[in-house]
Structure 1
Amino acid sequence: MTAMAHEPLPQEEVLLEGFLALRTPEGFRAELIEGEIVVTPPPDGDHEKYISRVVRQVIKRSRTDMDFSGNKGLRLASGGACPKNHVIPDVTFGPLGLDLFAAAESWMPCAGVAMVLEVTSTKPEADRETKRRCYAREGIPLYLLVDRETAMVTLFNEPERDDYLRSLKRSFGDPLPLPEPFAFDLDTADFI
Structure 2
Amino acid sequence: MTISQTEVTLAEFEAFDAAAPEGLHVELINGRVLVTPAPDGDHDENMVFLRKQFEAHDPELVLYHERGLAVPAYRAGRARVDGAVAPLGYFRGQPSWADPAGVLLVVEVTSGCEKDADVDRIDKRDAYAQAALPVYLLVDRHRGEVVVHWDPEGGHYQHAGKAVFGAKLRLPEPFGFDLDTSDLA
In structure 1, the partner of 2:123 is 130
Residue by residue, what CA displacement relative to the aligned partner does 1:109-155 show, whole Å, maximum 9, x if unpaired?
Answer: 11111000000012211100000001001111100000000000011
In structure 2, the partner of 1:108 is 98
TM-score (norm 1): 0.85
Q: Over alpha carbons, which structure has the higher Rg?
A: 1
In structure 1, the partner of 2:9 is 15
1:1-192 map, 5 Å: 15-22=9-16, 23-62=19-58, 65-79=60-74, 83-96=75-88, 99-122=89-112, 123-191=116-184
Query: How many residues of Structure 1 are paired with residues of Structure 2 in the alignment?
Result: 175
* CA deviation after TM superposition for structure 1 residue 67, in Å: 2.2
In structure 1, the partner of 2:3 is none
* CA deviation after TM superposition for structure 1 residue 75, in Å: 0.7
Gaps of 5+ in 1: 1-10
* CA deviation after TM superposition for structure 1 residue 25, in Å: 1.2
Gaps of 5+ in 2: 1-5
Provide the rounded CA distance (Å) in 1 between the counterparts of 2:21 and 2:83: 21
Provide the rounded CA distance (Å) in 1 between the counterparts of 2:184 and 2:62: 23
In structure 2, the partner of 1:6 is none
TM-score (norm 2): 0.88
In structure 2, the partner of 1:4 is none
Provide the rounded CA distance (Å) in 1 between the counterparts of 2:42 and 2:57: 23
Provide the rounded CA distance (Å) in 1 between the counterparts of 2:108 and 2:146: 10
